[in-house]
Amino acid sequence: MTQFTWYDVSDATVGLLFGLAGVLGGYALRGLIGRWQADAVEKQAYLKLDEADKEVRNRIKEADIQARTEVVRAREEFEKSTKSRRKELQDIEDRLTFREENMDKKAALLEKKDQTLAQKQEELQQRDEALRQRKQEADRRYAEAEQRLQKLAGMTHDEARRDIQQRAEQEVRSEAGGMIRRVQEEARETADREAARIVTMAIQRYALSHASESMTSTVPLPSDDIKGRIIGREGRNIRTLEAVTGVNMLIDDTPEAVVISGFDPVRREIARQALEQLVADGRIHPARIEEVVQSVTENMEKTIYEAGEAAAYEAQVQGVPAEILRCIGRLKFRTSFSQNVLRHAIEVAHLMGMMAGELGLDPLIARRIGLFHDIGKALDHDAQGAHALIGAEFLKRNGEDPVVVNGVAAHHEDVPSEGLYGVLCSAADAISSSRPGARVETVGVYVQRLEKLEAIANRFEGVKKTFAVQAGREVRVMVDPGQISDQDAMVMARDISQQISATMQFPGQIKVVVVRESRCVEYAK
């Protein structure tokens, strides 16, 4: 049998006690840990609840603020739309009120007009009745007078009518004879005036005043001593110059200058350049003169051809024959009222091209006609007739299109225009010629033209004073209001304009203004 000692029991008990204490301590520790975790979880839950509560309150507050803002905005929009609608309704009401007032006024006015018309109609009826009675009375008196006249004259009504017709016929025949004589005299005067105009035009082309401007060139000299060398021994140098150039050298008392006079502008230019080279070179003798003139002539031919080419290029005209280019280049040395004819031709070409494009015509043909329209001026020294016809004939010989030939020939109405190109050429020619600054006249010619304008107007009866203004583009005629009525003033303006057109040549148009004025002046004292 086994025996237990006390120390054995004590050890076991102690072990057991320690085991129980461990178990109980473990349970106690677990409980403490669980309670601590539970407190922590509870505390965290409380914190989350507080945060959620705060968030909910903030959202509720924001929603409240937003709702109030939306309510305010909706209220403002409603008030604005209501105000606008009220304004529109008020405007409509005002317009309706205004229309009603106008309708009332118009109704009252129509009623008043109806009353006036009724009154006038009644007055007209009364007047018609009075006139009817007067006519009856006049017919009765006319019948009585006719009977008395037949008794006194011893002729019936038909006999008196035939007698009056015979006398009227005799008077008409007499007046017709006088009118015929007057018309014949006026026709003779017109024919004489027209003949004088044509002769004057021909004279004007080569008159002294024109020659001094268009047919002379002046060559400046370094000194008067060179004049003797130009003349040469026994005049051999100057005779050689005149012979080889075909111009006249005028050496007079004009200081340090020699005047070259020539019919042909190209020859005159050759003479001018040759003389300038001779004066600059200093060697002046017949052989040297012939050499320099030959050289200048060759250079001039090149210059003329280059000028024609440049003009065709500037005017955008292609396929021009060389012969026509040379004639076009010659226009560089030709002027009309101080307007260079070549620049004028280029202007007309551009104007015709623009107008033709607007009218649906061919701009190429139009520019070609414009460039060629004055080509006859380069040939009119060698041919007779109008430059338009001369140029047209020249173009025809060189194979130009018939449309171009007709446009050139018709631009001065020498021949009927077969299309619109001739009319366009006339218009472009007038525009280029009448452009301010295009043509320049000398002071003498300018004054003569103004005096002639005033003289034409002063010939008419009732004219007090005449003033040519606007550089001769306008004539103002002051008439006596006691002699000339308003109707007479209109007739006078037309007659003066016709007289100016018949007796003068001018680019563009001249405005005629007849002024009839009556003034009453009194002084208060």
Per-residue CA distances from 108 to 100, 104, 116, 243, 427 (Å) = 12, 6, 12, 100, 59
For residue 6, tell me if it sits in a domain: no
Sequence-ordered strand ranges (E) for 364-510: 463-469, 474-479
For residue 425, tell me if it sits in a domain: yes
- Residue 240 in contact with residue 229, Cβ under 8 Å? no
Q: Which residues contact 440 (CB under 8 A, 6 or more apart)?
A: 337, 338, 339
Whether residue 130 sits in one domain with residue 215: no
What is the distance between the alpha carbons of residues 319 and 399, in angstroms, rounded to a whole number?
A: 12
What type of residue sits at position 18? F
Question: Where on the phi/psi map is residue 337: left (φ > 0), alpha (ψ -120 to 50), or beta?
Answer: left
Whether residue 163 sits in one domain with residue 137: no
For residue 26, tell me if it sits in a domain: no
Residue numbers of the domain that contains 405:
315-434
Q: What angle do CA 472, 476, 478 make, to 5 degrees?
A: 150
With a threshold of 0.75, does the pTM exceed it? no
For residue 309, tell me if it sits in a domain: no
Whether residue 397 sits in one domain with residue 326: yes
Of 343, 346, 341, nearest in space to 367 by CA: 346
Whether residue 326 sits in one domain with residue 282: no
pLDDT of residue 477: 92
Residue 336: phi and psi, rounded to 5, are: -135, 110
What is the distance between the alpha carbons of residues 231 and 349, in angstroms, rounded to a whole number?
A: 45
Radius of gyration of the chain (CA): 56
Whether residue 70 sits in one domain with residue 176: no
> What's the pLDDT tens digit per position in 115-132?
888 888 888 888 888 888
HEC-encoded secondary structure of 219-283: EECCCCHHHHHHHCHHHHHHHHHHHHHCCEEECCCCCCEEEEECCCHHHHHHHHHHHHHHHHHCC
Q: What angle do CA 269, 271, 277 make, to 5 degrees?
A: 105
Whether residue 367 sits in one domain with residue 459: no
Domain boundary (146, 165, 185) is at 146
Q: SS3 of 475, please?
A: strand
User: Residue 355 CB: number of other CB atoms within 10 A?
Assistant: 20
Domain boundary (388, 416, 434) is at 434
What is the distance between the alpha carbons of residues 168 and 506, in angstroms, rounded to a whole number?
A: 47
Tokens 């001739």 -> residue: 422
Whether residue 164 sits in one domain with residue 120: no
Quote the distance between the C-alpha of residue 137 and its chain's center: 66
In the chain, the number of structural domains is: 5
Whether residue 175 sits in one domain with residue 228: no
For residue 8, tell me if it sits in a domain: no
Of 11, 10, 9, 13, nearest in space to 21 by CA: 13
Whether residue 425 sits in one domain with residue 363: yes
For residue 521, tell me if it sits in a domain: no
For residue 307, tell me if it sits in a domain: no
Alpha-carbon torsion 373, 378, 381, 383, what sign?
A: negative
pLDDT of residue 207: 41
> What's the pLDDT tens digit per position in 204-263?
443 444 445 456 677 777 777 777 778 878 888 888 888 888 888 777 766 777 777 777
What is the distance between the alpha carbons of residues 196 and 203, in angstroms, rounded to a whole number?
A: 10
pLDDT of residue 443: 58
Residue segments in the chain with a per-residue pLDDT below the cut of 50: 1-9, 195, 198-211, 213
Domain with residue 501: its CATH number is: 3.30.300.20
Whether residue 235 sits in one domain with residue 142: no
Q: What angle do CA 433, 445, 247 make, to 5 degrees?
A: 85
Of 457, 520, 467, 450, nearest in space to 489 by CA: 457
Domain boundary (302, 324, 356) is at 302
Whether residue 490 sits in one domain with residue 463: yes
For residue 195, tell me if it sits in a domain: yes
Q: Is 346 exposed, middle or buried (0-12, 13-18, 19+ CB in 10 A)?
A: buried
What is the distance between the alpha carbons of residues 366 and 306, in angstroms, rounded to a whole number?
A: 23
What is the distance between the alpha carbons of residues 168 and 71, in angstroms, rounded to a whole number?
A: 106
User: Residue 212 CB: number of other CB atoms within 10 A?
Assistant: 13
Residue 43: phi and psi, rounded to 5, are: -60, -45
What is the signed CA dihedral for 504, 505, 511, 515, rounded to 10 degrees? -10
Domain with residue 387: its CATH number is: 1.10.3210.10
Whether residue 286 sits in one domain with residue 245: yes
